[in-house]
Amino acid sequence: MKSEETTPPKMPPRWLVHGAWRVHRALYKLSGGRFLWATSNKRGWGALRLAMNGWDEGHPAWWLNLRAQPDAVVRLTGQEPRPVHAPSVEGPQRDRLWRRWAAVEPKLDGYASTRSTKTPVVVLEPRAQTEPESA
């Protein structure tokens, strides 16, 4: 029997999940992210704008892009763009970071159990900016 943490939460129909993400992206774009995310929420976690695939099978586009090209730029409101290197982590480090995030989002294991694709865990490491990044 699965524990409460790994029991898949009841998910709305896929068309609704995908529609909600489209609305979310539109609101983010219209507001510049001001009313959907703060730089740091009450838990002390920030948020980055990434395209999620609603826990569908397969990897989301953001991960496929980072896997192919792990150098990226993070843009935080009111700050200069920050060049980062974004490798995935495996083994004990992945397990530790996954548990840390699951403590913030108790349904994380349940969501992850709805698909067979292993969810990547990525660490954003600062890197020196060697050339101007395009906007």
pLDDT in tens, 89-101: 999 999 999 998 8
Residue 85 resides in a domain = yes
Weakly modelled stretches of the chain, pLDDT under 50: 1, 38-39
In a domain, 29, yes or no: yes
Dihedral angle over CA of 100, 102, 105, 110, nearest 10 = 170
- Torsion angle (degrees, nearest 10) of CA 15, 9, 64, 19: 20
> What pLDDT sits at residue 1?
46
Residue 27 belongs to domain with CATH number: 2.30.110.10
pTM: 0.64
Q: What is the pLDDT of residue 134?
A: 56
Q: How many domains does the chain have?
A: 1
Confidence (pLDDT) at 39: 47
Pull the structure tokens for residue 2.
């699965």
Backbone angles phi, psi at 64, to 5 degrees: -60, -40
Q: Which domain holds residue 21?
A: 14-126
